[in-house]
Amino acid sequence: MSKINATVKITLEGLEAPQVWRELSIPLNITFEQLHQIIQAAFGWEDSHLYAFCERNLRDLITINCPIDEDAVVKANEVVISNLMINLFNRKIYTKDSVPFKYIYDYGDSWTHQIDVLTIEYDSAEYITLKNGNGACPPEDIGGVPIYEAIKNGEIEIGLPPGFDPDYFDQSLAKARLRELERIIIASYRQ
């Protein structure tokens, strides 16, 4: 079977400038749990909250949930991403209709990420590659988009962590986190 990767652009929704996004090449033989781990590493989240993948929001009929979520019907560690990613790409190409697909992290702060499939690459190297990105990931437990924007705009006096710069994306740190994660994912294939 050919090795297949997708290039995806994942954008954190609702933020004013700077936009926060990452463009990645990911293998399609991974689970949604592994995609969650990749998004966490690429953005710099701390992986300390529940998450879900869905079409629009958490009230969708079918969501793919964090494996430890007691209400999960479809668990992220049991579903491979390939069919959905290829279907999203094909629909975008053939119907010119972009299907919304979301990753929601931290149900309290509700950080919603739009996932767009840009390309499908056959006979690829099957590695996780950070191609590009922009903007710093907001700090964990800050209160979600409205509170984060109010803090950035000086409307709320709660401070951001010392040295935090919303414009700065440390691409080398994100790449290092993804390399380490890739080693773990590859090792899991061998077991």
Q: Is the pLDDT of residue 23 over 70?
A: yes
Contact between 125 and 3 (Cβ < 8 Å): yes
pLDDT in tens, 78-90: 888 888 888 888 7
Contact between 178 and 38 (Cβ < 8 Å): yes
Shortest CA distance to 67 belongs to which of 55, 85, 79?
A: 79
Q: What is the CATH number of the domain that holds 143?
A: 3.10.290.30
Give the helix/strand (H/E) hosting 179: helix 171-190
Number of domains in the chain: 1
Beta strand 111-122 with 4-12 is: antiparallel
Q: Is the pLDDT of residue 103 over 80?
A: yes
Share of the chain above pLDDT 70, in %: 91
Contact between 93 and 77 (Cβ < 8 Å): no
Domain extent, residue 148, equals: 4-190
Residue-level pLDDT at 189: 61
pLDDT in tens, 147-190: 999 988 888 877 788 888 999 999 999 999 999 999 888 777 65
